[in-house]
Structure 1
Amino acid sequence: MKKIIFLFLIILLQGCQYFEKNVPKKEELLNKELKKINWLEVDEFPSTLHCDSIDDKITRKQCFFDFMTQNIQDKLITDSIKIFYPKLDTIPVKVTVFANASLSFETDLLKYSSDYDTEKVDSILQSKLSNFPSVEPAIKRGIKVKSQFILPIILK
């Protein structure tokens, strides 16, 4: 009987080795997952109430950019930018949508010409766009994230 119990224990102990698995460390798993993520793209672009009902991602994205461009143009159309800089027909506006849904607008006219006072144009932008309609931030893996893009605003 002792031999049977002894053999049973040996089989039991050696059988447990078949169930042992090398469990990867959590740091290795995290690094592996982080490498899979494309940090330069978002899963969902920012959006507005106007565009939220659109199901197609590409159409919703285009709706958002059209909405932003049109609203910025409408707010700048009756402004002194055209008076101060009559030759200026397009302003590249860098829009930042923060994770908390706040917005930031700035220009980078120096890339195009040093003839423009960027600070003056930025201050006009800030004053005209201070009460901009609400925008929902971009989403990456279920989390609201900051996004930036440049819109070419055509002054009519």
Structure 2
Amino acid sequence: MRPFYFLILFLLFNSCQYFDKQVPSEKDLLQKELKAINWKEVDEFPSVVYCEKIENKAQRKECFFEVMTQLIQEKLAVDTLSILYPELDTIEVKVTILPNSTLEFEPQFPKDSVAYDTIKIDSILKARLINFPKINPAIKRGIPVKTQFILPVILKVE
């Protein structure tokens, strides 16, 4: 019975080391977690209903970009851009998807693009690029987030 008491006393004195450990503060834990998050990538890319069936993350992303490019090209196909600017065959469009599923489009021009009336092209794009199907925003840690990407849109198909 005596060895049992020694064992209990031994455990009692040695267990005190478990009580004096410092608990990290809330700010320290938050900073550590924020540093661990990769803010350049999202957990789930934006998607449209057509691409929701695809299980593979990379294929779903590719499907989304193909559908978006095709939709923009279709909306701009019957337009005055190719008539006003016959030398303009491809335009880069910055697409912003907000957390509430709304879309914003902004044409991207080269720095030396004085040959184009950027305000006119921008207004044509904003007038044409409406009535898109519902787009689910990107997800980061379970929360919808804003995403931006640039799509090259071919205006002339020859």
8 Å CA contact 1:110–1:116 kept in 2: the answer is no
SS at match of 2:51: coil
Task: Name the residue aligned to 1:8.
Answer: none
Task: Name the residue aligned to 2:54.
Answer: 54
CA distance in 1, matches of 2:74, 2:113: 24
> Shift of the alpha carbon at 1:14?
5.9
> Shift of the alpha carbon at 1:114?
1.7
Task: Name the residue aligned to 2:17.
Answer: 18
Q: Which runs of 5+ in 2 are unaligned?
A: 1-9
Does residue 1:121 correspond to 2:136, yes or no? no
Letter in 2 for 1:96: T
> Shift of the alpha carbon at 1:103?
0.3
Letter in 2 for 1:18: Q
> Shift of the alpha carbon at 1:15?
6.4
CA distance in 1, matches of 2:74, 2:112: 23
SS at match of 2:132: coil
Between 106-115 and 128-137, the greater mean CA deviation after superposition: 106-115
Distance 1:147 1:28, change over 3 A: same
CA distance in 2, matches of 1:112, 1:76: 23
> Shift of the alpha carbon at 1:131?
1.0
8 Å CA contact 1:108–1:118 kept in 2: the answer is no
> Shift of the alpha carbon at 1:132?
1.5
How far does the alpha carbon of each residue in 1:6-56 deviate from its partner, in whole angstroms, 9 at most, with x for none? xxxxx9x96673331211111101100100111111111100001011000
CA distance in 2, matches of 1:148, 1:37: 19
Pairing 1:133-144 to 2, within 5 Å after superposition:
133-144=133-144
CA distance in 2, matches of 1:134, 1:122: 23
Task: Name the residue aligned to 1:88.
Answer: 88
Q: Which runs of 5+ in 1 are unaligned?
A: 1-10
Percent identity reads 57
What TM-score does the superposition give when structure 1 sets the normalisation length?
A: 0.88
CA distance in 1, matches of 2:41, 2:18: 41
What TM-score does the superposition give when structure 2 sets the normalisation length?
A: 0.86
Letter in 1 for 2:79: D
Letter in 2 for 1:123: S
Letter in 1 for 2:84: F
